[in-house]
Amino acid sequence: MTPQDLNKPIHVLKFGGTSVATPELIRNAAQRIARRRDSGVHVVCVVSAMGDTTDRLLSLAREISTRPPSRELDVLLSAGEVQSMALLSMALNELGIAARSYTGQQGGIRTDAQHSEAKILSIDPDRVLEALNRDEVVVLAGFQGHDDRDEITTLGRGGSDTSAVAMAAALEAERCEILTDVSGVFTADPRIVEGARQISALGYDEMLEMANLGAKVLHGRSVELARRFEVSLIVASATADTAGTRISRKDDSMEKVEVRAVTDDRNVKKISLLSVPDTPGVAARIFGSLGEFGVNVRLIVQAQSHAGHNDITFVVPGDTPLDDKRLEQLVTEVGGENWIIDDRIALLNIIGEGISRAPGIAGTIFKILADQKINLDLISSSNLVITCVVPEGDLVRGTRALHEGLIETDA
Amino acid sequence: MTPQDLNKPIHVLKFGGTSVATPELIRNAAQRIARRRDSGVHVVCVVSAMGDTTDRLLSLAREISTRPPSRELDVLLSAGEVQSMALLSMALNELGIAARSYTGQQGGIRTDAQHSEAKILSIDPDRVLEALNRDEVVVLAGFQGHDDRDEITTLGRGGSDTSAVAMAAALEAERCEILTDVSGVFTADPRIVEGARQISALGYDEMLEMANLGAKVLHGRSVELARRFEVSLIVASATADTAGTRISRKDDSMEKVEVRAVTDDRNVKKISLLSVPDTPGVAARIFGSLGEFGVNVRLIVQAQSHAGHNDITFVVPGDTPLDDKRLEQLVTEVGGENWIIDDRIALLNIIGEGISRAPGIAGTIFKILADQKINLDLISSSNLVITCVVPEGDLVRGTRALHEGLIETDA
């Protein structure tokens, strides 16, 4: 059976944990699904575990074991989504809608064997398609899959979004909606910037940068997957029936360079390796070692300090387990002199397709920050984003000033 | 792979919900399993859901739906055992023991498609045997299986005991231990009868009668399965390392008829259908209808009331949904006159192989009750049990008197 055999388009709706945290919220979600179905489409819902269920399970595990095997952790966590999917299916049936819940394994989500951070290898949507063909609503457990030895796996951070996008791709769904506790993607964090506006449409690349740079609404992984399979992605509120933000392939006619958003990320730390020899292969050794530790490096700046030696500075997520001991090891390994860890910094990211080649934008950014007497520690830019490392204490002021100067004036 | 390929005997240990209700109890269970494994056997553990998890899940379901589909209820409840099996496996790994948890489906427990009360059709123990062959401890989710369309099923009341016994049979295990919050099977309820003693050994048939007649320690279904496959069953304390009660095929040399236990059951009601025609097939119609309602009839007495008409009285569990409306229907259907429901009665059961053909025992019973001025409402007897229906208010006094007269004197 293929998606073409169905007589109606498919919408995939993903409900996050806060959107199914209580029986009342689950009933609300069911009503929303019912309305969507009445509009003449097939609906596949993907659910996360209810509210704090995953945290509760993790804390039980910690009470029992200091280092639980990742295989068993995956088994444990998988129970959270199984619970919420069954309850959502019950709520749909209570509304008179034939619905059926499927685990990751039953839904045909096959992954590699990398427990706690499995990657989806393939989806066999047969069982889901058959259910849709019987005109049932399918409720699928997010975050989980199974490997080829029939072991339960979980997809790691952003896992349920990834499940939803992957299923949407496999089903050739008309759209994949990520329903959450915010109404869409904003030009800046509305808790910080009063004038922050919801963005109605974004390109995959812009969203990807935002996701990777502190916008918590979507995980980068799911955006990448959506881009690869051209899944039309929508981020919208789980409770209000408003339009949300549509993420799709960039309209080619849009030549105008535009600053789309200013994101802030204080959960980072800056690491400097001082006076490492300026010989070929040193950077490769440093970032090769970091890669083996699983460190996700955000930004790298290399500056010559004195003859034949460089200072190499990079920014990593704040919870990265890089401590003095590991850094000493690393510095010794590459023949450097010393290292510094600084966690009182933050990132300010200005995002927009083509931003770094647009004349004047970089200058405007630096002038705005200089007017605010904010010291720019490091700067990095790519086609889509200009990132400034600033003192953590200046983050809020800088975000507001940039948003006002670059976006609000542009309205 | 077959059980014969293994180099050590297999012990199946089943832990009930109260025995894994907290992380501390789970750690205790793991230590017990570790000691057993150190004694030179392979261990397969079967676990129930932690403490009140199943009740909590059921109450969530009730908040969402007045009549949740049984398929979805099974999916929901299955999450409880998945949680506890993962935690127990973690606790074992924490002790340095290679352990692996399996869902009903992964453990090869195939059932029919009767959701919420599925019957086990077959067990494919390959995956379990392979794990044992790698010298791992297997932790298996009790209570759940999967049907041939890979749907999740649950086994209904006493399900985890049934899982354990069935797995023990498939693995040709040396023994199957049901570890629980009591130390074994008693000659009477110790909360009622001070002199109640633990029974060291019982035949399957005796245990079956006790299970069906109010002894809550084991469900009849698992005892039946143990009898069919001659699984050596042990009921023992989950916390203390004491011997417990062994249930096995009756030693044929034991010709002496002995009263083994006195059980009491107040959770019953008596129903009388009055003046139904004494024509062939009437009883069949009555109990056929009751069977269709799913009613489990404990005891039937038919007495001629007047020419051509009989009163038919039977006892059913107290929570049986037989109300005046259904009884009116039933009485009308068979041409009877009226009906009576009486829930102020209780059952006193005296159990022992060959008891009803042993001269004098029935007489002794009636004399003991008469001395206590307890009115015998109905009496029924089989090879293994004599059941007396008495007023609920006389139950405790009757149980004590019978235990004293039939068992304590016999010590």
Contact criterion met (CB < 8 Å) for A73 and B86 = yes
Task: Report whether A234 contacts A245 (CB < 8 A).
Answer: yes
Min distance A128 CA to chain B CA atoms (Å): 13
Region B375-402: mean pLDDT is 88
Residue B409 is predicted with a pLDDT of 76
Placement of tokens 């759209």 in the chain: A175
Lowest average pLDDT, out of A256-270, B92-106, B124-138, goes to A256-270
Contact criterion met (CB < 8 Å) for A79 and B86 = yes
A397 SS3 class:
helix
A26: nearest CA partner in chain B: B64
> Which residues make Cβ contacts (< 8 Å) with residue B85, sequence separation at least 6?
A75, B47, B101, B102, B103, B139, B140, B141
Lowest average pLDDT, out of A125-139, A281-295, B311-325, goes to A281-295
Dist. CA A285–CA A24, nearest whole Å: 54
Domains of chain A (ranges; CATH) run 3-181 (3.40.1160.10)
Min distance A122 CA to chain B CA atoms (Å): 19
Task: Report whether A237 contacts A186 (CB < 8 A).
Answer: no
Structure-block tokens of residue B300: 């039937």
Residue B305 is predicted with a pLDDT of 64
Residue B253, pLDDT > 60, answer no
Here the ipTM equals: 0.80
Residues of B in contact with A86 (CB under 8 A): 61, 72-73, 75-76, 79
Contact criterion met (CB < 8 Å) for A100 and B71 = yes
- B251 falls in which pLDDT band (50, 70, 90)? low
Q: Which of A57, A72, A83 is facing B57, going by the closest CB pair?
A: A83
Q: Residue B35: count other Cβ atoms within 10 Å of its Cβ.
A: 11
Dist. CA A44–CA A12, nearest whole Å: 5
Chain B interface, best mutation among A82, A84, A153, by max B CB count within 10 A: A82
Lowest average pLDDT, out of A55-59, B183-187, B289-293, B318-322, goes to B289-293
> Which residues make Cβ contacts (< 8 Å) with residue A36, sequence separation at least 6?
A11, A13, A43
Residue B283, pLDDT > 60, answer yes
Dist. CA A77–CA A56, nearest whole Å: 10
Min distance B4 CA to chain A CA atoms (Å): 24
Region A4-16: mean pLDDT is 95
* Mean model confidence pLDDT for chain B: 90
* Mean model confidence pLDDT for chain A: 90
Residue B411, pLDDT > 70, answer no
Task: Report whether A157 contacts A184 (CB < 8 A).
Answer: no
Q: Which residue has the higher pLDDT, B302 or B27?
A: B27
Lowest average pLDDT, out of B3-7, B101-105, B376-380, goes to B376-380
Min distance A87 CA to chain B CA atoms (Å): 6
Residue B309 is predicted with a pLDDT of 81
Region B26-46: mean pLDDT is 97
Residue B167, pLDDT > 50, answer yes
> Which residues make Cβ contacts (< 8 Å) with residue B251, sequence separation at least 6?
none
Task: Report whether A401 contacts A390 (CB < 8 A).
Answer: no
Residue B52, pLDDT > 70, answer yes
Contact criterion met (CB < 8 Å) for B66 and A90 = no
Region B26-51: mean pLDDT is 96
Residues of A in contact with B87 (CB under 8 A): 60-61, 64, 76
Min distance A60 CA to chain B CA atoms (Å): 7
Q: Which of A61, A76, A93 is facing B69, going by the closest CB pair?
A: A93
Query: What amino acid is encoded at A250 in this protein?
Result: K
Region A121-141: mean pLDDT is 97
- A256 falls in which pLDDT band (50, 70, 90)? low
Please state, in angstroms and as integers, the Cα–Cα distance from residue A33 to each residue in A84, B79, B184, B187, following that order: 15, 24, 51, 57
Region B200-212: mean pLDDT is 87
B80: nearest CA partner in chain A: A79
Dist. CA A276–CA A351, nearest whole Å: 32
Q: Which of B57, B93, B150 is facing A72, going by the closest CB pair?
A: B93
Query: What amino acid is encoded at B78 in this protein?
Result: S
Contact criterion met (CB < 8 Å) for B68 and A93 = yes
B69: nearest CA partner in chain A: A90
User: Mean pLDDT: which of A82-86, A327-331, B403-407 is highest?
Assistant: A82-86
A154 SS3 class:
strand
